[in-house]
Amino acid sequence: MVAAENPLIVQGDLTVLVEVYSPHYAAARDALARFAELVKSPEHIHTYRITPLSVWNACAAGCTPEWIIESLEAYAKYRLPDHVRVQVRDLAGRYGKLRLMRHEADMLLSVADAILAEEISRQDQVKPYLSRRLSPTTFLVPLSARGQIKQALVKIGYPAEDLAGYVGGEKLKIGLRTPESLGGKPFELRHYQRDAAEVFYAGGSDRGGSGVIVLPCGAGKTIVGMATMAQLQCSTMILTSSVTAVRQWISELLDKTTLTPDQIGEYTGQNKEIRPVTVVTYQVLTHRKNKSGGFPHMAVFDGRNWGLIIYDEVHLLPAPIFQITADLQARRRLGLTATLVREDGREDEVFALIGPKKADVPWKDLEHQGWIATAICTEVRLEMPESLRMTYALTDHRNKFRVAAENPDKFALVLEILKRHFGQPALVIGTYVEQIEALAKLIGAPVLTGATPQRRRDQAYADFKAGKVGVLAVSKVANFALDLPEASVAIQISGTFGSRQEEAQRLGRILRPKSGANQAHFYSLVSQDSLEQDFAMKRQLFLCEQGYEYRIVHAAEWANQETMSAA
């Protein structure tokens, strides 16, 4: 490569500037995504940051510090600063220097050298969990502090590799309905699903058993969970985001495994069944009568001798679940997600308590292989009407975003987009209930919000899947774990500020493989020159990370954009 054409400018503070129009941009971006976090993505120059957590997750997923440095050097426009090499090696070298192992009824914390051990022993966050020093490099740690000491060590910059082992849990015979098995509908594990399950399982050794699998929506994270269950053959609790997601899990388990209905329990607001495989919502687990009260449904964690706990949509894990997960470190823990980004910044808690990233398959790789639909992502900017501009100007800063998001001129634009994609199943997604209800009435579509009874939701989803309904108008209830493979168009009329997490989930609603062209369209409607436009730039970070071209067009010019026509 010619250095002048290379896209990376690597800075001494571990930030990396990336020139978008370089001929080597795509290759450099794909490499960076393995070990750096995207911070900003304006039109010409994107900014990444290499952080301790991003490097540790890369190491856990199989990257070496030499590979990270070679990737930076291969795409750098200028010579890599020497101290960047030193810092990358130092951060990567911290992963694996500390190990937790079983020692009779307690644990040993083993440190690579005596000087580091001395430094760690003097850290206020760590000292409460060290019972006594057994040698210059080993400490006795109470087994009950397994989660807490891992949290403390991550906070001081030295993650511990957990080799303290796991309980086997209650045995349960689980098989997958492969073509060789008898009965049921057979299916084949895709190669990346099999690889993800195997890297988590790690042959049943203590090096496996905890961690996070990152896969796009529509790529079959549920299948990875079931493959893991089949490897471990044990009683399993599955935590997920909604009643709809619970029932989708149960449907998939009955369709693709040898489990029978009497072996699978639903633990939700409507049903409280604890069975060998139990599927639970985060909402019911964190329900309490008042803010000072306890969480009565947390008792489900003690309902059986679980051998595996699956955290679906682990990026949504509520704070109270973190607290109890710290006490569940002897159980195998599998996190499933489309993105490790958390809006509360607690990615380090996921790393410490659920485990490091074990597999991360780039979205664009799966798109090229045909496992998910090809997506065209477009932001359409429209001006606010004169009357709304005055309202916006007079509104206090706190409410400006909502004023811009509820721009009434978006309705006509939605009608035009639906017209261009006539006959293609579409979702219109918004954050504000009044807005989505008014639009649903205009386009004659069923409307689904948090207040919609579960029975009506299920019926609307069934009608959509059957082709009886061509458009659904949905609020935030469609953000997570909604399986509507037929949807090929999504129109986002309002979002939750700058949530990258929400952007990932909403795009994921239309990425299930399609017959024919396997093409999906994702539109985001944004009021121009407003706070909504500023937040839209933050939401784009996720799409840029995954390699999607995010086109921005102006509504006034949109009618002349032939490339925006339906495929």
DSSP output for 480-511: SS---TT--EEEE---STT-HHHHHHHHHTT-
Q: In this predicted structure, what is the pLDDT of residue 206? A: 84
Q: In this predicted structure, what is the pLDDT of residue 561? A: 59
What is the total residue count of the chain? 567
Q: In this predicted structure, what is the pLDDT of residue 46? A: 84
Q: In this predicted structure, what is the pLDDT of residue 150? A: 95
Question: Which range (56-70, 244-258, 286-300, 306-320) has the least confidence?
Answer: 286-300
Of all residues in the chain, what percent carry a pLDDT higher than 70?
Answer: 90
Residue 534: Cβ-neighbour burial (10 angstroms; 0-12, 13-18, 19+): middle
Question: Looking at the predicted structure, is the pLDDT value of residue 42 above 70?
Answer: no
What is the distance between the alpha carbons of residues 193 and 90, in angstroms, rounded to a whole number? Answer: 32
Q: Mean pLDDT of all residues in the chain?
A: 86
Q: In this predicted structure, what is the pLDDT of residue 563? A: 45
Span 40-67, mean pLDDT?
Answer: 86
Span 86-115, mean pLDDT?
Answer: 93
Are 65 and 96 in contact by the 8 Å Cβ rule? The answer is no
Span 442-464, mean pLDDT?
Answer: 86
Span 503-524, mean pLDDT?
Answer: 76
Span 353-381, mean pLDDT?
Answer: 83
Question: Looking at the predicted structure, is the pLDDT value of residue 166 above 90?
Answer: yes
Exposure of 161 in the CB half-sphere (CA atoms within 13 A): 19
Q: In this predicted structure, what is the pLDDT of residue 498? A: 60
Question: Looking at the predicted structure, is the pLDDT value of residue 567 above 50?
Answer: no
- Whose tokens are 């694996």? That residue is 96
Highest mean pLDDT among 98-102, 201-205, 420-424 belongs to 98-102
pTM of full prediction above 0.85: no
User: Strand 160-163 relative to strand 98-103: parallel, antiparallel, unpaired?
Assistant: parallel
CA dihedral sign, ordered 439, 441, 443, 445: positive
Q: In this predicted structure, what is the pLDDT of residue 542? A: 67
Q: In this predicted structure, what is the pLDDT of residue 298? A: 85
Question: Which range (176-185, 305-314, 547-556) has the least confidence?
Answer: 176-185
Q: In this predicted structure, what is the pLDDT of residue 500? A: 63
What is the distance between the alpha carbons of residues 49 and 16, in angstroms, rounded to a whole number? Answer: 6
Q: In this predicted structure, what is the pLDDT of residue 162? A: 92
Question: Which range (154-158, 319-323, 354-358, 528-532) has the least confidence?
Answer: 319-323
Q: Considering only CA atoms, which of 504, 511, 521 is closest in space to residue 371?
A: 511
Q: Which residue has the higher pLDDT, 393 or 506?
A: 393
Span 144-148, mean pLDDT?
Answer: 93
Question: Looking at the predicted structure, is the pLDDT value of residue 183 above 50?
Answer: yes
Span 370-395, mean pLDDT?
Answer: 87
pLDDT band at 562, cuts 50/70/90? Answer: very low
Using alpha carbons only, give the angle 494, 382, 22 rounded to the nearest 5 degrees. Answer: 90
Q: Considering only CA atoms, which of 57, 107, 76 is closest in space to residue 8?
A: 76
Q: Which residue has the higher pLDDT, 288 or 262?
A: 262
Of all residues in the chain, what percent carry a pLDDT higher than 90?
Answer: 48
What is the distance between the alpha carbons of residues 238 and 259, in angstroms, rounded to a whole number? Answer: 15
- Going along the chain from its start, the domains and CATH numbers come out as 3-94 (no CATH), 98-163 (no CATH), 191-361 (3.40.50.300), 367-564 (3.40.50.300)
Six-digit token string for 17: 């500037």
Q: In this predicted structure, what is the pLDDT of residue 564? A: 44
Q: Which residue has the higher pLDDT, 48 or 339?
A: 48
Question: Which range (255-264, 414-423, 540-549) has the least confidence?
Answer: 540-549
Are 213 and 334 in contact by the 8 Å Cβ rule? The answer is yes
Question: Cβ contacts of residue 564 below 8 Å, gap of 6+?
Answer: 378, 420, 553, 558
pLDDT band at 122, cuts 50/70/90? Answer: very high
pLDDT band at 465, cuts 50/70/90? Answer: confident
Are 257 and 230 in contact by the 8 Å Cβ rule? The answer is yes
- Whose tokens are 């390699």? That residue is 547
CA dihedral sign, ordered 28, 502, 498, 491: positive
Residue 340 DSSP code: -
Question: Looking at the predicted structure, is the pLDDT value of residue 181 above 60?
Answer: no
What is the distance between the alpha carbons of residues 62 and 566, in angstroms, rounded to a whole number? Answer: 41
